């Protein structure tokens, strides 16, 4: 009748945009992972076919850490809890009381770890972490004492100086086989 | 007769959902940026332990990943329940390590090969026997820089 009614421009129904977006979102949630990119950095010793040269080590300079298949710690012949390991290690390396059964000086201190094939990786890493924490704390304290600054604020040369003063020497022995998983 | 125009019914306008896709797209872009495509299906259970002395892995291209854990339920029948090594997308033994490292090495520029790090993603429950063998074969292959993947926790007092 007469003029055709003015049909308004029909809008595109945007309701399904949300559905498409949700679909893409769920796809990404399912197929991707938030990359875990942090960890404990370790430098393995070089491999050599011959056994290492017999070094005349004074036992006062050696800090032996034994972990058995029951995930228990034996430090220098005494049982210890993991919580106490770090502080005990620091005292051994720094030897502030100049005890004759502890390291002569931090440069001669050697830590030796021996675990069993049945030890759980969790325990092993906790032990390694505590030993590393001991060194990190000693380095931080040395940096503060020597340069008055946080170790992260030092130049590379200064950091090297600190780390050479208290070298990280952790030697790992062949594991025992008592608790190996059959 | 004057025609009375019927007044439009006073209806409160409904909530506009026009911006809903925008919100969803924002979330989508967030995930696209923050995550990375999991290019291999994990055939072993890996629940990494917690540690306080962590270093960040720079330059993903210089990192190769080695997974160690007990096979997931799907693969238990094929691979058993003892801890296994997964390299890339299949199970492997310590004998496959040199080839795996070499394959990754050739994809890295000559000058940067010394900075290659092996990231070991190991489950908490794995026993040290297999890890010791793994470390030995890494040493034999000359790969000395190793990073034990872990989640952040506070230092013990």
Residue A177 lies in a domain: no
**Chain A interface, best mutation among B33, B40, B45, B49, by max A CB count within 10 A:** B49
CB A166 within 8 Å of CB A107: yes
Residue B108 falls inside a structural domain: yes
Which run of H or E residues covers position B105? helix B97-106
Number of H helices, E strands in chain B: 4, 10
Does B94 contact A at CB distance below 8 Å? no
At a CB cut-off of 8 Å and minimum separation 6, what does A115 contact?
A66, A67, A68, A123, A124, A127, A175, A176, B128
What pLDDT is attached to residue B131?
92
Q: Does residue B123 form part of some domain?
A: yes
Residue A19 inside a domain? The answer is no
Quick one: what percent of chain A has pLDDT higher than 90?
A: 35
User: Where in the sequence is the domain holding A94, given as residue range(s)?
Assistant: 59-172
Closest CB to A130: pick one of B123, B147, B156: B156
Q: What is the domain count for chain A?
A: 1
Contact B128 A121 (CB under 8 A): yes
User: H or E stretch including B134?
Assistant: helix B128-140
Please judge whether A120 and B57 are an interchain contact, meaning their C-beta atoms are less than 8 angstroms apart: no
At residue B31, the 3 state secondary structure works out as: helix
Q: What CATH number is associated with residue B51? A: 3.30.420.270
Does A25 map to a domain? Answer: no
pTM value? 0.78
d(CA A87, CA A139): 14
**B85 lies in some domain:** yes
Residue A26 lies in a domain: no
Q: Considering only residues A38 and B33, tell me which one the structure prediction assigns the higher pLDDT.
A: A38
The position carrying tokens 């439009």 is: B8
In a domain, B78, yes or no: yes
User: Domain of B65?
Assistant: 44-152
Residue B18 has pLDDT above 80, yes or no: no
Tokens 């080695």, located at residue: B66
In a domain, B33, yes or no: no
Interface test with B, best of A33, A40, A73, A139 (most B CBs within 10 A): A40
DSSP string of A9-54? PPPP-THHHHHHHHHHHHHHHHHEE----EEEEEEPPPP-SSPPP-
Complex-level ipTM: 0.77
Beta strands A110-115 and A78-80: pairing type? unpaired
Q: How far off is chain B from A59, nearest CA to CA, in Å? A: 26
As for how many domains chain B has, the answer is 1
User: Nearest residue of B to residue A16 by CA position?
Assistant: B21
Residue A15 placed within a domain:
no
Identify which of A28-42, B7-21, B99-113 has the greatest average pLDDT. B99-113
């Amino acid at each position: 009748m007469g003029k055709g009614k003015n049909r308004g421009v029909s809008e595109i129904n945007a309701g399904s945009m949300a559905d498409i977006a949700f679909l893409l979102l769920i796809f990404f949630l399912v197929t991707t992972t938030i990359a875990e990119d942090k960890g404990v950095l370790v430098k393995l010793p070089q491999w050599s076919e011959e056994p290492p040269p017999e070094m005349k080590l004074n036992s006062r300079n050696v800090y032996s850490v034994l972990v058995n298949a029951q995930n228990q710690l034996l430090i220098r012949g005494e049982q210890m809890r993991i919580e106490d390991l770090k502080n005990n290690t620091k005292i051994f390396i720094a030897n502030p009381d100049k005890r004759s059964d502890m390291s002569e000086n931090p440069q001669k201190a050697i830590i030796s770890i021996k675990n069993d094939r049945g030890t759980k990786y969790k325990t092993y890493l906790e032990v390694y972490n505590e030993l590393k924490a001991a060194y990190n704390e000693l380095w931080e304290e040395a940096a503060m004492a020597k340069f008055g600054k946080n170790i992260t604020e030092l130049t590379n040369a200064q950091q090297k100086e600190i780390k050479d003063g208290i070298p990280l020497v952790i030697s790992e022995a062949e594991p025992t086989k008592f608790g190996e998983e059959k | 007769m004057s025609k009375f125009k019927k007044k439009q019914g006073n209806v409160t306008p409904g909530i506009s959902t026009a911006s809903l896709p925008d919100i969803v797209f924002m979330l989508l872009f967030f995930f696209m940026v923050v995550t990375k495509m999991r290019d291999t299906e994990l055939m072993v259970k890996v629940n990494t332990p917690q540690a306080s002395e962590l270093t960040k892995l720079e330059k993903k291209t210089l990192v190769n990943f080695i997974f160690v854990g007990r096979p997931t339920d799907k693969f238990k029948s094929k691979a058993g329940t003892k801890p296994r090594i997964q390299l890339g997308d299949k199970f492997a033994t310590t004998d496959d390590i040199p080839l795996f490292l070499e394959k990754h090495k050739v994809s890295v520029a000559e000058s940067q090969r010394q900075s290659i790090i092996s990231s070991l993603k190991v489950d908490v429950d794995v026993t040290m026997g297999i890890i010791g063998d793994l470390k030995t074969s890494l040493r034999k292959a000359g790969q000395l820089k190793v990073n034990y993947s872990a989640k952040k926790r506070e230092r013990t007092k």
